[in-house]
Structure 1
Amino acid sequence: MKQVAILILFIFSGLSLFSQNDENPVKFSQDFRKISDTEYELIMKADIHEGWHVYSQHTAEGGSLPSEFDYEKAGEEYELIGETVESETIVAYSDIFEVDETYFKEKAVFVQRIKLLDPDVNQIDVDLFYQVCKEVCIPADYKFTFRLDGSAAATVEKSIDERSMAMATALKLNLKNKALLNNSGEDIGTGSGLWVIFGLGFLGGLIALLTPCVFPMIPLTVSFFTKHSENKSKGIGNAMLYGFFIVLIYFLLSLPFHLFDSVDSQILNTIATNIWLNLGFFVIFLFFAFSFFGYYELTLPSSWANRMDAASTKVGGGIGIFFMAVTLALVSFSCTGPILGGLLGSTVLGEGDVATNLTAGMTGFGVALALPFGLFALFPTWLNSLPKSGGWMNTVKVVLGFFELALALKFLSNADMVGGWGILPREVFLGIWIVLFVLLTLYLFGILRFPLDGPKGKLPAIRKGIGLASGVFSIYLILGLFNFSSLKLLSGFPPPHFYSIFETESDCPLGIDCFKDFDEGVAYANKVDKPILLDFTGWACVNCRKMEANVWSEPDIYPIIKNDYVLISLYIDDREELPEDQQFDFKFDSGRIKRIETIGQKWGTFQSVNFNAASQPYYVLLSPELEVLNNAVQYTDRDEYRNWLLQGLQRYNETSIVSGE
């Protein structure tokens, strides 16, 4: 029971981290008292916001996390005299952990006596790890720095050398008319994009319902609620609550990802384009695929599900129904895990706010998974129309296995392009996809078989129809391989045309002349007197490829970019190391220092600092004098993008005429 409570607390800790603003509910201060030439008392104080509480060092084991102090260099430069003494605490019983917990409200004071071993020591550093809670809990840490000579008792601010400072200053632009960027408001397509991702998650949940891990649970669970309740309305209410908890569980599972984005605006992009992480995803999806093919079963430890099931029986009521929903999530993992992995992978491959996208997708997945439990509870006669479990569910799993393999190849392609290895150019990628979908076609027509397939029999019409669609898609890929089709339906998944086994005239999108260094591009724009299209992009950016293939390639847009603008494409995920003399430390306004070692780190920081953005694609129109010509846009449609380009061009021409006068 305690382990279950800890799991719930962890989930809600993620929720709190997502929902809290930058204001810390605990404010710290410090002081010290000199007792003799070698002895001091270190005094650490915490002012706690109303409604919040911080746990004592001595709160009972098995409950919430205690406060812990780490005295740096204790035993080397000084020794601790006794334990850290606390101010008055409150003791109260916790229903969740079933222990007496000890904590502080409003104020907390900690005092530690020390004796110097080295009389020249002037600074004492103390790290505090603590947990602050209200309805939810936040683990956090704080660093105290005591200056024993009486100077300001604050953490010593980190600094960067003059060379780094100069290079960091050069990275910041003096943009004119920058307010126009802020007028862009929400990114074009962001709202609709979230609904699309929600829809994809919903579709994934519907597919999961058809798997053998979930489908048989529907009539059993609905029957349990309707037959074991005091009355029909009570049974319907319990089934609806069960469905709500399913949605809640999958929603909560996505929230810890928001912590990454709050730590560093570039961190999710860094993770998404990390070579080793992409290789890891490739291996994981291979593992998922072969589990769907029936070569082994992917399961979580059975003890987890047993504990949840026992908890649901023991507790009863609404909490018991919650544990029943958790049990479903655990026992169905062998089928839902790979689908959720695909959802996570698709979110990582997508652009924009990855954490928000993942929350939308996971919520959609949970809604689809919960829907039948509510509907069949309201209309129990519908249960009679459900198809019987059978071999068709294994067919669903095998088809999903082929899609897992296709997605796995995309992650390998990402790692290959970011690393610049050249092992998976466009032609090889398409060739492997052709083989996969030809094999899928053969399977659906009963020619290729897998371990869990039943005896051969008459193929259902729907299976033949899907097999025919797979065959048509294979032909579509073949036409694209030999350039008889542009493969616009797949734009963003295969490598771009210039990433080829054949020599290409340009390594820029669509063969347009481009610059991959900002300063070089600006110098050329000044020379030819043209405005700049600043393109923040990435090798592994799916939506960037979609924009290039579906929007930039349009006959009324391509000439504008090629002839009227100077294109500067900055690759945020470029892992090529900068020459040593171009590497430097960049200090953000928050005081955080980041080492700039690669081309991608440089342009990612450049984008964040100057445009307060971290996603790709991200397009900005500038004059050679660095005047912003229009609001920034991201993933959008053809008409919006064309109008945006023309408006920027018109503004540039008007500005040039005024300047000429």
Structure 2
Amino acid sequence: MRLAVLFLGFLFINFTIFAQTDENPAVWSHEVHKISDAEYELVFKGKIMDGWHVYSQYTAEGGSLPSEFTFEKAGEDYELLGKTQESETIKEYSDIFEVEETFFKEEAIFTQKIKLLDTSVNQISVNLFYQICKEVCLPVDEYFQISLDGSGFVAEETALDDRSAALGESLKVDFKNKQLLNQNGVGGSDGKSSLWVIFGLGFLGGLIALLTPCVFPMIPLTVSFFTKQSQNRSKGVGNAILYGFFIVLIYFLLSLPFHLFNSVDSQILNTIATNIWLNVFFFVIFVFFAFSFFGYYELTLPSSWANKMDAASSKVGGGLGIFFMALTLAIVSFSCTGPILGGLLGSTTLAEGNVATNLTMGMVGFGLALALPFALFAMFPAWLNSLPKSGGWMTTVKVVLGFLELALAFKFLSNADLVGNWGIFKREIFIGIWVVLFVLTTLYLFGVIRFPHDGPRKNLSPARKLTGIVSLVFTVYLVLGLFNVNQLQLLSGFPPPSFYSVVETESDCPLGLDCFKDFDEGVAFAKEVNKPILLDFTGWACVNCRKMEENVWSDPSIYPILKEEYVLISLYVDDRKELPKSEQFNFKFDSGRIKAIETIGQKWGTFQTVNFNAASQPYYVLLSPNMEILNQAVQYVDVETYGAWLRSGLEKHNLSMGN
């Protein structure tokens, strides 16, 4: 398979994500206040998604880009009265730009007074350019077509029918005490922690790549070249370090296109993890990678690429020549590193945070692991003598990686099954497939089965026997989980939830709890029994949702509270099941944009965004039956924090009821 094909496939994934944007991190609306026959006040309001921020018009130079208004035909049809005013802002010193930046969180309001020079003008156009940031910063253009006389909306906007308008209004709930949602926020996984986990996965992938036959033999050859061809040892060490730096740089550069194509979709992770055909695409790619590791075919790039890079390194010389040497290594080693990089890409789609940023961290970790040996062995060439000789053990590494690729492939196929409600890969079937894969891995490691590129049969090395025993133990662990002897907590979030089973269960809710999957039905029951509500925004393909249910909800200190004290309402924002035709409608956001609500997931995803200005899952809210917010919202937290949060909400509810 050609690198270009793989790269275009990755770009296709990002382009598809971009094309499926539902909500922006900031939703804008405008108002017009008439002061006199010629003077008006224009008000622009932006509701900013939780965790994002928009920069002020007056943020310091040298930092992030400021917001900027362009009033078309100002000076011709009307004049601006004074500067555009802003609502309250936040100031914070930026270590990156070394300036104090000014920005908005949660809400941005801009106000501009105008005076008409031509009183017949009744419509003006305004463009707002702004930068919105979370883990990365994204430039956005917002266009307003403003009617001064209230005669109508923008021509492009579509009027809603009465049924859609009524159903849309029913999604908006008048929750009381909404200011509590983010007060002293304890929710959410640590973005920095998630990035370091991805970096660690990338580094681990790089270390594994070092053990493959495409890379390992290159270490002594390359180090010897630098140490022998240089005028002195320090020069050789310096060149080896530069070579390592260029390896890291090349893998970093491979991640940049993902930033260019990255969408401002507030549900980007949800979009990736829940798109059925993207998950099927990942499955096919990973199976293809796996069989290349098994030796049935070779993933190679055109040999002319490597020859040209090698020739360039010889001709150019110096630092640029070393760069081409590093690029040659990347091309030559692709048959081994390509599938590992594919696994890294798959891991980023299952992690918290921004996909492009995750991928960059993973790529840097991967490149660093590849680069370190070249620098270290150049500094300490005597270490080369301790390296094991190349041999059949590297083939063993490739085959084991092939089985791991297959295991990950079925995770993506399982995601497609869950979201599409196919009912094929139930929990027992998924675990059963993994049992088969690791039985085969164990048999291979003990020499029972062989693959095309295996050499002659030899005595098994102690390392291979030890790895085989580890694989056997893991297989037994899976078998015990298959029969519910254990809950497979080491794999929490990977297998389908326990209620998605071939065996009929009393409840289709997590852990056998009673739950409602419709908000109105759950609220009606809560009023009837006078219990507080745990509103759970979740997803079929949400890994952290499964981790919370299996590791936190199942805890003896948590489970009784959920079962006896709360009414659980679980809303699946990635459910692709179509709503009945009578319940499908068009929803109009404050900005005027219209979104078709055709599936259960679209309904509850929009419900979460509109009412809570949030789009990530899991997302938990405590409510009283009369729609009062009882505590701040939380997301992925530990048992102790979650228990204290539940008990605090319960106490507030009981106090309000006079209990």
TM-score, reference length from structure 2: 0.75
Higher RCO structure (Cα 8 Å, ≥6 apart):
2
SS in structure 2 at match of 1:620: strand
Letter in structure 2 aligned against 1:252: L
The answer to which of 176-185 and 465-474 deviates more is 176-185
SS in structure 2 at match of 1:263: coil
Q: Distance in 1 between matches of 2:651 and 2:379?
A: 60
Q: Distance in 2 between matches of 1:638 and 1:143?
A: 46
Name the residue aligned to 1:180.
Answer: 180
Check 1:142–1:651 CA distance in 2 against 1; reply closer, same or farther (3 A cut): closer
SS in structure 2 at match of 1:182: coil
- Residues 462-477 of structure 1 mapped to structure 2, 5 A cutoff: 462-477=463-478
Q: Distance in 2 between matches of 1:319 and 1:306?
A: 16
Check 1:449–1:603 CA distance in 2 against 1; reply closer, same or farther (3 A cut): same
Spell out structure 1 runs of 4+ moving beyond 6 A: 19-22, 24-31, 138-145
Name the residue aligned to 2:527.
Answer: 526
Contact kept? 1:351, 1:541, Cα under 8 Å: no
Unaligned runs of 5+ in 2: 19-51, 56-64, 74-137, 146-150
Contact kept? 2:439, 2:475, Cα under 8 Å: yes
| Residue 560 of structure 1: how far off its partner (Å) | 0.8
Name the residue aligned to 2:444.
Answer: 443
| Residue 630 of structure 1: how far off its partner (Å) | 2.3
| Residue 403 of structure 1: how far off its partner (Å) | 0.8
Q: Distance in 1 between matches of 2:54 and 2:366?
A: 28
Unaligned runs of 5+ in 1: 32-137, 146-151
Check 1:537–1:446 CA distance in 2 against 1; reply closer, same or farther (3 A cut): same
- Residues 126-525 of structure 1 mapped to structure 2, 5 A cutoff: 156-163=155-162, 164-183=164-183, 184=185, 187-258=188-259, 262-525=263-526
Check 1:28–1:303 CA distance in 2 against 1; reply closer, same or farther (3 A cut): farther
Letter in structure 1 aligned against 2:386: S
Q: Distance in 2 between matches of 1:141 and 1:560?
A: 47
Q: Distance in 2 between matches of 1:563 and 1:239?
A: 64
- Residues 543-554 of structure 1 mapped to structure 2, 5 A cutoff: 543-554=544-555
| Residue 380 of structure 1: how far off its partner (Å) | 1.9
Q: Distance in 1 between matches of 2:328 and 2:484?
A: 50
Contact kept? 2:194, 2:351, Cα under 8 Å: no
| Residue 201 of structure 1: how far off its partner (Å) | 1.7
Letter in structure 2 aligned against 1:654: L
Check 1:251–1:617 CA distance in 2 against 1; reply closer, same or farther (3 A cut): farther
| Residue 455 of structure 1: how far off its partner (Å) | 0.7
| Residue 376 of structure 1: how far off its partner (Å) | 1.6
SS in structure 1 at match of 2:338: helix
TM-score, reference length from structure 1: 0.74
Q: What do residues 225-252 of structure 1 show as CA deviations (whole Å, max 9, x unaligned)?
A: 3333343333322322222232233333
| Residue 352 of structure 1: how far off its partner (Å) | 4.2
Check 1:27–1:188 CA distance in 2 against 1; reply closer, same or farther (3 A cut): closer
Q: Distance in 1 between matches of 2:636 and 2:215?
A: 36
SS in structure 1 at match of 2:181: helix
Check 1:139–1:506 CA distance in 2 against 1; reply closer, same or farther (3 A cut): closer
Contact kept? 1:160, 1:587, Cα under 8 Å: no
| Residue 451 of structure 1: how far off its partner (Å) | 0.6
Letter in structure 2 aligned against 1:550: N
User: Equivalent pairs: percent with the same residue?
Assistant: 72
Check 1:648–1:245 CA distance in 2 against 1; reply closer, same or farther (3 A cut): farther
Contact kept? 2:244, 2:375, Cα under 8 Å: yes
Q: Distance in 1 between matches of 2:313 and 2:169?
A: 59
* Aligned alpha-carbon RMSD (Å): 3.5
Q: Distance in 2 between matches of 1:579 and 1:169?
A: 18
| Residue 274 of structure 1: how far off its partner (Å) | 1.1
Name the residue aligned to 1:636.
Answer: 637
Contact kept? 2:427, 2:498, Cα under 8 Å: yes
Letter in structure 2 aligned against 1:597: E
SS in structure 1 at match of 2:657: helix
Check 1:628–1:144 CA distance in 2 against 1; reply closer, same or farther (3 A cut): closer
Contact kept? 1:533, 1:620, Cα under 8 Å: yes
Q: Distance in 1 between matches of 2:144 and 2:514?
A: 54
Contact kept? 1:260, 1:268, Cα under 8 Å: no
The answer to which of 643-652 and 445-454 deviates more is 643-652
Check 1:625–1:356 CA distance in 2 against 1; reply closer, same or farther (3 A cut): farther
SS in structure 1 at match of 2:195: helix
Letter in structure 2 aligned against 1:335: C
Check 1:575–1:268 CA distance in 2 against 1; reply closer, same or farther (3 A cut): same
Q: What do residues 320-367 of structure 1 show as CA deviations (whole Å, max 9, x unaligned)?
A: 333333332222221111111112212223344433333332222222
Contact kept? 1:575, 1:598, Cα under 8 Å: yes
SS in structure 2 at match of 1:533: strand
Q: Distance in 2 between matches of 1:479 and 1:142?
A: 55
The answer to which of 611-620 and 158-167 deviates more is 158-167
Letter in structure 1 aligned against 2:271: T
Q: What do residues 258-290 of structure 1 show as CA deviations (whole Å, max 9, x unaligned)?
A: 456543112431222111111111111111111
Check 1:29–1:514 CA distance in 2 against 1; reply closer, same or farther (3 A cut): same
Check 1:244–1:177 CA distance in 2 against 1; reply closer, same or farther (3 A cut): farther
Q: Distance in 1 between matches of 2:454 and 2:53?
A: 50
SS in structure 2 at match of 1:450: coil
Check 1:534–1:142 CA distance in 2 against 1; reply closer, same or farther (3 A cut): closer
SS in structure 1 at match of 2:577: coil
Q: What do residues 89-134 of structure 1 show as CA deviations (whole Å, max 9, x unaligned)?
A: xxxxxxxxxxxxxxxxxxxxxxxxxxxxxxxxxxxxxxxxxxxxxx
Q: Give the number of equivalent residue pairs.
A: 538
Contact kept? 2:538, 2:617, Cα under 8 Å: yes
Letter in structure 1 aligned against 2:181: L
Letter in structure 1 aligned against 2:585: F
The answer to which of 228-237 and 193-202 deviates more is 228-237
